[in-house]
Protein backbone atom coordinates (compact mmCIF):
# COMPACT_ATOMS: atom_id res chain seq x y z
CA UNK A 1 0.00 0.00 0.00
CA UNK A 2 1.33 3.44 -0.94
CA UNK A 3 2.81 5.51 1.88
CA UNK A 4 0.75 8.39 3.26
CA UNK A 5 1.88 11.34 5.33
CA UNK A 6 -0.04 12.77 8.26
CA UNK A 7 0.43 16.23 6.71
CA UNK A 8 -1.36 15.07 3.55
CA UNK A 9 -4.23 13.57 5.53
CA UNK A 10 -4.64 16.83 7.42
CA UNK A 11 -5.28 18.61 4.12
CA UNK A 12 -8.19 16.32 3.24
CA UNK A 13 -11.79 17.33 3.74
CA UNK A 14 -12.90 16.88 7.34
CA UNK A 15 -16.03 14.74 7.34
CA UNK A 16 -16.47 14.92 11.12
CA UNK A 17 -16.20 18.61 11.86
CA UNK A 18 -15.79 20.76 14.97
CA UNK A 19 -18.67 21.43 17.31
CA UNK A 20 -19.38 17.93 18.64
CA UNK A 21 -19.81 17.31 22.34
CA UNK A 22 -17.38 14.46 22.92
CA UNK A 23 -15.62 14.31 26.31
CA UNK A 24 -12.09 15.70 26.63
CA UNK A 25 -9.67 12.82 26.11
CA UNK A 26 -12.20 10.64 24.26
CA UNK A 27 -10.76 8.42 21.52
CA UNK A 28 -13.79 8.68 19.20
CA UNK A 29 -12.95 11.93 17.33
CA UNK A 30 -9.39 10.79 16.60
CA UNK A 31 -10.57 7.40 15.34
CA UNK A 32 -13.17 8.72 12.94
CA UNK A 33 -11.22 11.71 11.66
CA UNK A 34 -8.70 9.10 10.45
CA UNK A 35 -11.19 6.53 9.16
CA UNK A 36 -13.32 9.07 7.28
CA UNK A 37 -10.22 10.24 5.39
CA UNK A 38 -9.50 6.71 4.14
CA UNK A 39 -11.79 7.07 1.10
CA UNK A 40 -12.41 9.95 -1.29
CA UNK A 41 -15.64 8.41 -2.60
CA UNK A 42 -19.08 9.72 -1.58
CA UNK A 43 -19.99 8.21 1.77
CA UNK A 44 -23.25 7.20 3.46
CA UNK A 45 -22.90 6.66 7.20
CA UNK A 46 -25.39 4.89 9.45
CA UNK A 47 -24.69 5.27 13.14
CA UNK A 48 -26.21 3.34 16.02
CA UNK A 49 -27.38 5.15 19.14
CA UNK A 50 -24.35 5.68 21.35
CA UNK A 51 -21.69 8.19 22.38
CA UNK A 52 -20.81 9.11 18.79
CA UNK A 53 -24.40 9.60 17.70
CA UNK A 54 -25.51 11.55 20.77
CA UNK A 55 -22.49 13.86 20.88
CA UNK A 56 -22.42 14.74 17.17
CA UNK A 57 -26.11 15.34 16.47
CA UNK A 58 -27.47 17.52 19.25
CA UNK A 59 -30.52 19.07 17.58
CA UNK A 60 -30.49 21.39 15.68
CA UNK A 61 -26.75 20.96 15.01
CA UNK A 62 -24.67 18.20 13.40
CA UNK A 63 -20.93 17.59 13.18
CA UNK A 64 -21.31 15.32 10.13
CA UNK A 65 -20.25 16.52 6.70
CA UNK A 66 -21.59 13.41 4.92
CA UNK A 67 -24.96 11.77 4.29
CA UNK A 68 -25.78 10.41 7.74
CA UNK A 69 -28.56 8.20 9.13
CA UNK A 70 -29.35 7.57 12.79
CA UNK A 71 -30.10 3.91 13.40
CA UNK A 72 -31.52 2.45 16.57
CA UNK A 73 -29.14 0.95 19.11
CA UNK A 74 -29.45 -2.53 17.63
CA UNK A 75 -29.70 -2.16 13.86
CA UNK A 76 -26.90 -0.10 12.29
CA UNK A 77 -25.80 -3.14 10.26
CA UNK A 78 -29.38 -3.83 9.09
CA UNK A 79 -29.68 -0.20 7.99
CA UNK A 80 -26.39 -0.47 6.08
CA UNK A 81 -27.60 -3.70 4.43
CA UNK A 82 -30.77 -1.95 3.29
CA UNK A 83 -28.83 1.00 1.90
CA UNK A 84 -26.51 -1.33 0.01
CA UNK A 85 -29.41 -3.35 -1.42
CA UNK A 86 -31.10 -0.14 -2.59
CA UNK A 87 -27.82 1.09 -4.11
CA UNK A 88 -27.45 -2.13 -6.13
CA UNK A 89 -31.09 -2.02 -7.23
CA UNK A 90 -30.81 1.58 -8.43
CA UNK A 91 -27.66 0.70 -10.38
CA UNK A 92 -29.42 -2.25 -12.00
CA UNK A 93 -32.30 0.05 -13.01
CA UNK A 94 -29.91 2.57 -14.49
CA UNK A 95 -30.84 5.27 -11.99
CA UNK A 96 -27.27 5.37 -10.69
CA UNK A 97 -24.41 5.09 -13.23
CA UNK A 98 -22.60 1.74 -13.02
CA UNK A 99 -19.23 3.49 -12.70
CA UNK A 100 -20.33 5.65 -9.75
CA UNK A 101 -18.88 4.50 -6.42
CA UNK A 102 -20.62 5.21 -3.13
CA UNK A 103 -19.19 3.74 0.07
CA UNK A 104 -21.38 2.64 2.98
CA UNK A 105 -20.14 2.80 6.57
CA UNK A 106 -21.99 1.44 9.61
CA UNK A 107 -20.81 2.46 13.09
CA UNK A 108 -21.60 1.21 16.57
CA UNK A 109 -20.06 1.14 20.02
CA UNK A 110 -19.37 -2.11 21.82
CA UNK A 111 -22.86 -2.14 23.36
CA UNK A 112 -24.48 -1.72 19.96
CA UNK A 113 -22.09 -4.19 18.31
CA UNK A 114 -20.95 -6.91 20.72
CA UNK A 115 -24.35 -7.14 22.39
CA UNK A 116 -27.70 -5.85 21.14
CA UNK A 117 -26.54 -5.20 17.56
CA UNK A 118 -24.73 -8.48 17.04
CA UNK A 119 -27.65 -10.32 15.43
CA UNK A 120 -28.06 -7.64 12.74
CA UNK A 121 -24.30 -7.50 12.14
CA UNK A 122 -23.89 -11.27 11.88
CA UNK A 123 -26.85 -11.56 9.51
CA UNK A 124 -25.71 -8.70 7.26
CA UNK A 125 -22.17 -10.03 6.79
CA UNK A 126 -23.40 -13.61 6.34
CA UNK A 127 -25.48 -12.34 3.41
CA UNK A 128 -22.38 -10.67 2.00
CA UNK A 129 -23.55 -7.05 1.88
CA UNK A 130 -20.85 -4.72 0.58
CA UNK A 131 -20.23 -2.27 3.44
CA UNK A 132 -17.73 -1.45 6.17
CA UNK A 133 -18.66 -1.83 9.83
CA UNK A 134 -16.56 -0.07 12.47
CA UNK A 135 -16.97 -0.77 16.17
CA UNK A 136 -15.47 1.81 18.54
CA UNK A 137 -14.86 -0.38 21.56
CA UNK A 138 -14.69 1.57 24.82
CA UNK A 139 -15.44 -1.57 26.83
CA UNK A 140 -18.68 -0.30 28.40
CA UNK A 141 -22.10 1.25 27.79
CA UNK A 142 -20.54 4.69 28.22
CA UNK A 143 -23.51 6.61 26.83
CA UNK A 144 -26.13 5.21 29.20
CA UNK A 145 -24.45 5.18 32.60
CA UNK A 146 -21.38 2.94 32.49
CA UNK A 147 -23.05 -0.47 32.53
CA UNK A 148 -20.89 -3.49 31.73
CA UNK A 149 -21.02 -4.91 28.20
CA UNK A 150 -19.64 -8.18 26.90
CA UNK A 151 -16.60 -6.12 25.83
CA UNK A 152 -15.89 -5.08 29.44
CA UNK A 153 -12.67 -6.76 30.61
CA UNK A 154 -12.46 -9.23 33.46
CA UNK A 155 -12.12 -7.41 36.78
CA UNK A 156 -13.28 -3.98 35.61
CA UNK A 157 -15.70 -2.10 37.83
CA UNK A 158 -18.90 -0.97 36.08
CA UNK A 159 -22.24 0.30 37.37
CA UNK A 160 -23.87 -3.10 36.84
CA UNK A 161 -20.77 -5.01 37.98
CA UNK A 162 -19.39 -2.76 40.73
CA UNK A 163 -16.28 -3.59 42.71
CA UNK A 164 -16.87 -3.79 46.46
CA UNK A 165 -16.79 -6.06 49.47
CA UNK A 166 -19.06 -8.61 47.77
CA UNK A 167 -17.72 -8.39 44.21
CA UNK A 168 -14.35 -7.92 42.49
CA UNK A 169 -15.97 -6.22 39.48
CA UNK A 170 -16.93 -8.05 36.30
CA UNK A 171 -16.26 -11.75 36.75
CA UNK A 172 -16.46 -12.79 33.08
CA UNK A 173 -13.69 -12.31 30.48
CA UNK A 174 -14.45 -10.02 27.54
CA UNK A 175 -15.88 -11.46 24.33
CA UNK A 176 -13.37 -11.70 21.46
CA UNK A 177 -15.58 -10.15 18.79
CA UNK A 178 -12.81 -9.68 16.23
CA UNK A 179 -12.16 -13.42 16.14
CA UNK A 180 -15.92 -14.08 16.01
CA UNK A 181 -16.21 -11.84 12.95
CA UNK A 182 -13.24 -13.60 11.35
CA UNK A 183 -15.14 -16.87 11.82
CA UNK A 184 -17.82 -15.48 9.47
CA UNK A 185 -15.26 -15.91 6.64
CA UNK A 186 -15.86 -12.39 5.32
CA UNK A 187 -13.23 -10.77 3.06
CA UNK A 188 -11.67 -8.48 5.64
CA UNK A 189 -11.51 -8.20 9.45
CA UNK A 190 -9.09 -6.04 11.44
CA UNK A 191 -8.30 -4.86 14.95
CA UNK A 192 -6.82 -1.38 15.38
CA UNK A 193 -6.28 1.45 17.86
CA UNK A 194 -5.95 5.25 17.56
CA UNK A 195 -2.33 5.46 18.74
CA UNK A 196 -1.20 3.71 15.53
CA UNK A 197 -2.83 6.20 13.14
CA UNK A 198 -1.16 4.89 9.99
CA UNK A 199 -2.13 1.30 10.77
CA UNK A 200 -5.72 2.44 11.38
CA UNK A 201 -5.78 4.49 8.17
CA UNK A 202 -4.39 1.62 6.07
CA UNK A 203 -6.92 -0.83 7.50
CA UNK A 204 -9.81 1.55 6.86
CA UNK A 205 -8.59 2.20 3.31
CA UNK A 206 -8.34 -1.54 2.64
CA UNK A 207 -11.80 -2.10 4.11
CA UNK A 208 -13.37 0.58 1.89
CA UNK A 209 -11.66 -0.76 -1.24
CA UNK A 210 -12.39 -4.45 -0.73
CA UNK A 211 -15.55 -5.91 -2.25
CA UNK A 212 -17.92 -7.45 0.28
CA UNK A 213 -18.34 -7.12 4.03
CA UNK A 214 -15.50 -5.66 6.10
CA UNK A 215 -15.26 -5.24 9.88
CA UNK A 216 -12.84 -3.16 11.95
CA UNK A 217 -12.76 -3.24 15.75
CA UNK A 218 -11.01 -0.18 17.20
CA UNK A 219 -10.00 0.22 20.84
CA UNK A 220 -11.49 3.50 22.05
CA UNK A 221 -10.11 5.02 25.27
CA UNK A 222 -12.86 6.50 27.47
CA UNK A 223 -11.79 8.88 30.28
CA UNK A 224 -15.27 8.92 31.82
CA UNK A 225 -15.60 5.17 32.37
CA UNK A 226 -11.97 4.01 32.33
CA UNK A 227 -11.23 6.81 34.80
CA UNK A 228 -7.88 8.11 33.57
CA UNK A 229 -6.41 11.60 33.31
CA UNK A 230 -7.71 13.16 30.09
CA UNK A 231 -4.32 13.50 28.37
CA UNK A 232 -3.43 9.80 28.81
CA UNK A 233 -5.80 8.11 26.34
CA UNK A 234 -3.30 7.56 23.54
CA UNK A 235 -0.69 6.35 26.01
CA UNK A 236 -3.19 3.81 27.36
CA UNK A 237 -3.98 2.62 23.82
CA UNK A 238 -0.24 2.09 23.24
CA UNK A 239 0.03 0.17 26.51
CA UNK A 240 -2.86 -2.03 25.38
CA UNK A 241 -0.75 -2.91 22.33
CA UNK A 242 2.49 -3.37 24.29
CA UNK A 243 0.86 -5.66 26.87
CA UNK A 244 -1.02 -7.52 24.11
CA UNK A 245 -4.30 -6.78 25.86
CA UNK A 246 -5.31 -5.35 22.46
CA UNK A 247 -3.10 -6.80 19.69
CA UNK A 248 -3.11 -5.22 16.24
CA UNK A 249 -3.85 -7.69 13.46
CA UNK A 250 -5.92 -8.26 10.33
CA UNK A 251 -7.56 -11.23 8.67
CA UNK A 252 -7.72 -10.99 4.91
CA UNK A 253 -9.52 -13.81 3.10
CA UNK A 254 -8.96 -16.06 6.11
CA UNK A 255 -5.24 -15.32 6.52
CA UNK A 256 -4.14 -13.82 9.85
CA UNK A 257 -1.40 -11.18 9.94
CA UNK A 258 -0.07 -9.50 13.09
CA UNK A 259 0.66 -5.83 12.39
CA UNK A 260 2.56 -5.00 15.57
CA UNK A 261 4.71 -7.11 17.86
CA UNK A 262 6.10 -5.31 20.92
CA UNK A 263 9.87 -5.56 21.30
CA UNK A 264 9.26 -6.28 24.96
CA UNK A 265 5.83 -7.59 25.93
CA UNK A 266 4.86 -5.70 29.09
CA UNK A 267 2.91 -7.19 32.01
CA UNK A 268 -0.80 -6.36 32.05
CA UNK A 269 -0.34 -4.38 35.28
CA UNK A 270 1.22 -1.59 33.16
CA UNK A 271 -2.14 -1.15 31.41
CA UNK A 272 -4.33 -1.73 34.46
CA UNK A 273 -2.67 0.58 36.99
CA UNK A 274 -3.47 3.87 35.24
CA UNK A 275 -7.23 3.25 35.16
CA UNK A 276 -9.53 3.85 38.09
CA UNK A 277 -11.87 1.05 37.00
CA UNK A 278 -9.12 -1.46 37.91
CA UNK A 279 -7.87 0.25 41.11
CA UNK A 280 -9.42 -2.38 43.38
CA UNK A 281 -7.48 -5.17 41.67
CA UNK A 282 -4.30 -4.06 43.41
CA UNK A 283 -5.67 -5.06 46.79
CA UNK A 284 -4.13 -8.27 48.10
CA UNK A 285 -7.43 -10.18 48.05
CA UNK A 286 -7.87 -9.48 44.33
CA UNK A 287 -4.39 -10.48 43.17
CA UNK A 288 -5.84 -13.64 41.64
CA UNK A 289 -7.80 -11.56 39.13
CA UNK A 290 -4.66 -9.89 37.79
CA UNK A 291 -3.10 -13.35 37.48
CA UNK A 292 -6.19 -14.55 35.57
CA UNK A 293 -6.07 -11.53 33.23
CA UNK A 294 -2.39 -12.10 32.53
CA UNK A 295 -2.97 -15.79 31.84
CA UNK A 296 -5.83 -15.00 29.46
CA UNK A 297 -3.78 -12.40 27.56
CA UNK A 298 -0.78 -14.74 27.28
CA UNK A 299 -2.96 -17.58 25.98
CA UNK A 300 -4.74 -15.41 23.40
CA UNK A 301 -1.44 -13.87 22.20
CA UNK A 302 0.04 -17.33 21.74
CA UNK A 303 -3.04 -18.48 19.82
CA UNK A 304 -2.89 -15.41 17.57
CA UNK A 305 0.75 -16.02 16.76
CA UNK A 306 -0.02 -19.62 15.81
CA UNK A 307 -2.84 -18.46 13.52
CA UNK A 308 -0.52 -15.96 11.85
CA UNK A 309 2.02 -18.70 11.16
CA UNK A 310 -0.45 -20.96 9.36
Average pLDDT over residues 101-121: 97
Annotated domain spans of the chain: 13-309
Over 80: is that where the pLDDT of 2 sits? no
- In this prediction, what percent of the chain has a pLDDT beyond 70? 99
- Specify the pTM: 0.97
Average pLDDT over residues 185-197: 98
Task: Assign domain 13-309 to its CATH architecture.
Answer: 3-Layer(aba) Sandwich (3.40)
pLDDT tens, 9-21?
Answer: 888 989 999 889 9
Task: Dump the DSSP string for the chain.
Answer: -----HHHHHTS--SB-S---PPTT-SHHHHHHHHTTS--S-EEEEEESSHHHHHH--TT---B-SEEEEEPTT-HHHHHHHHHHHHHHHHHTTSS-TT---EEEEEEEHIIIIITTHHHHHHHHHTT---EEEEEE-SEETTTT-EE-TTSPTT--BTTB-BSSS-BS--SPPP-HHHHHHTTT-SEEEEE-TTSHHHHHHHHHHHHHSSS-EEEEEE---IIIII--GGGHHHHHHHHHHTTSS--EEEETTEEEE----SSPPPTHHHHTT-GGGGGGGSGGGHHHHHHHHHHHHHHHHHHHHHHH-
Over 90: is that where the pLDDT of 127 sits? yes
Amino acid sequence: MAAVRLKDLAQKEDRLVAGHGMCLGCGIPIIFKIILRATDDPLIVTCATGCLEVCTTIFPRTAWNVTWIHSAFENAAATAAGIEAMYRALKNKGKIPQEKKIKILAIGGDGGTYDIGFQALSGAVERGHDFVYVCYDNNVYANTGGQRSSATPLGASATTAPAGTKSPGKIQPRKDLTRIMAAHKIPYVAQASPNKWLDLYNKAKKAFEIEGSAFINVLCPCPTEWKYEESQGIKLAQLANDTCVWPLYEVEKGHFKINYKPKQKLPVTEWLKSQGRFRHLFKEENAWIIEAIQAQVDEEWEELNKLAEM
